[in-house]
Structure 1
Amino acid sequence: MADIKYYDVILKPVITEKSMNAMADKKYTFMVHVDANKSMIKEAVEKMFPGTKVLSVNTMNSIGKVKRRGTTLGRTAATKKAIVKLTEDSKEIELFQGL
């Protein structure tokens, strides 16, 4: 966990109808590294998007589903999602502006 840099923490934004509606409340949803904790996510958002100030971070883990191909069993990859709430005086994230 110590070797994860801030640019490796946030993998990609989550673009769904529910996450787009939450942007009105300054809540942004990202797929993040599975080993990242809330303080690492907060630091990464504030460094990657200058002018933003994070108020809170909520995370959710989803374990991989068991899948079968023929007689071989395996799992899909585990994922972690983070919902980041910005302060009222913070500027919005430009990544989501054109959507």
Structure 2
Amino acid sequence: MLQTLKESEANRSIKKFDLQKVVFEVELSANKAEIRKAVEDLYAGQKVAVHKINTITIPSKNKRVRGTQRFGKTSKRKKAIVTLARGSEIDVELS
């Protein structure tokens, strides 16, 4: 259900400003309660407490198919920006 966006610009900028936020790519059908439970279960060993969750649905885009004059579509995606409670940290490896 959750995939950490390791190489995303959002995670790099969040790390730069020392914000208590982590960006995940989630399923389109996931709601905020499911995302909260998944994050807390996934990082149970680190005792993570979620303060707030914002979700963004990114619409699909038209892309030109290489070598032809046809167009295809990219997939629709959903991101969740998880704000952690004070004192909580998640170790996300950034390259």
Bin for the TM-score computed over the shorter chain = 0.7 to 0.9
Which structure is richer in relative contact order (CA contacts within 8 A, separation 6 or more)? Answer: 2
Deviation at 1:71, TM superposition (A): 4.9
Aligned-pair identity in percent equals 31
The corresponding residue for 1:81 is 79
Q: Answer yes or no: is the 8 Å Cα contact 1:65–1:75 preserved in 2.
A: yes
For normalisation by structure 1, the TM-score amounts to 0.75
Q: How many pairs were matched up?
A: 89
With normalisation by structure 2, the TM-score equals 0.78
Corresponding residue for residue 58 of structure 1: 54
Unaligned runs of at least 5 residues, structure 2:
none
Contact 1:46 1:54 in 2 (8 A): yes
CA change 1:14–1:30 in 2 (3 A) is farther
User: Structure 1 residues 83 and 14 mapped into 2: Cα distance closer, same or farther (>3 Å)?
Assistant: farther
Structure 1 residues without counterparts, runs of 5 or longer: 1-8
Aligned-residue CA RMSD in angstroms? Answer: 2.0
Q: Residues 56 and 86 of structure 1 are in contact (CA less than 8 Å); yes or no, is this contact kept in structure 2?
A: yes
